[in-house]
Amino acid sequence: MTIQTVAIIGAGQMGRGIAETCAVHGKSVVLVDQNQDSLATAKTVIAENLARDVKKDRLSAKQSKKIQQAIVFTAKLEDIVPADLLIEAVNENESSKKSVLRACQEHLRDDALMASNTSSISITRLAAVSKKPDQFIGLHFMNPVPKMQLVEMIRGLQTSDTTFEVTQDFILGLGKTIALSEDFPAFIVNRILIPMINEAILTLYEGVGNVENIDKAMKLGAKHPMGPLELADYIGLDTVLAILNTLHEGLADQKYRPCPLLNRYVEAGWLGRKVGRGFYDYSSNPPKPTR
* Residues near ligand CAA (CB under 6 A), total: 18
Residues in 22-61 that interact with ligand CAA by CB under 6 A: 49, 52, 56
Least distance (Å) from ligand CAA to the CB of residue 270? 18
Cβ–Cβ < 8 Å for 187, 194 = no
Q: Considering only 1-9, 93-101, 129-137, 189-197, which stretch makes contact with ligand CAA by CB under 6 A?
A: 189-197
Query: Per rule CB under 6 A, is residue 62 in the interface with ligand CAA?
Result: no
Element spanning 154, H or E: strand 150-155
- CB closer to ligand CAA out of 49 and 159: 49
Class of residue 221 by CB neighbours under 10 A (exposed 0-12, middle 13-18, buried 19+): exposed
Question: Taking the complex as a whole, how short is the minimal distance between the CB of residue 163 and ligand CAA, in angstroms?
Answer: 22
Kindly state whether residue 235 participates in binding ligand CAA, applying the rule CB under 6 A.
Answer: yes
Q: Which is nearer to ligand CAA, 84 or 215 (CB)?
A: 215
Handedness of CA 266, 190, 94, 37 (dihedral sign): positive
Tell me if residue 113 falls in helix, strand or coil. strand
Q: Which is nearer to ligand CAA, 132 or 219 (CB)?
A: 219
80 is a contact residue toward ligand CAA (CB under 6 A) = no
Q: Which residues pair with 88 in a beta bridge?
A: 9, 116
**Could you count the other beta carbons within 10 Å of the beta carbon of residue 94?**
17
Angle between helices 260-268 and 189-205 (to 10 degrees): 90
Please state, in angstroms and rounded to a whole number, the distance separating the CA atoms of residues 202 and 120: 21
Can residue 148 be called a binding residue for ligand CAA (CB under 6 A)?
Answer: yes
**Scanning residues 116 to 135, which ones bind ligand CAA (CB under 6 A)?**
119
Q: Which stretch binds ligand CAA (CB under 6 A): 68-76, 77-85, 108-116, 225-233?
A: 225-233
CA distance 143 to 74: 23
Encoded amino acid at 9, one letter? I
Residue type, 275: V
For ligand CAA, the nearest residue by Cβ is 119
Least gap, CB of 145 to ligand CAA (angstroms): 7
190 flagged as catalytic: yes
Dihedral sign computed on CA atoms, order 93, 94, 99, 100: positive
**Rule CB under 6 A: is residue 217 a binding residue for ligand CAA?**
no
Phi, psi of 285 (to 5 degrees): -125, 115
Q: Is 152 a catalytic residue?
A: yes
Residues that bind ligand CAA (CB under 6 A): 49, 52, 56, 119, 142-144, 146-148, 189-190, 193, 225-226, 231, 235, 239
For the annotated catalytic residues, the residue numbers are 119, 140, 152, 190
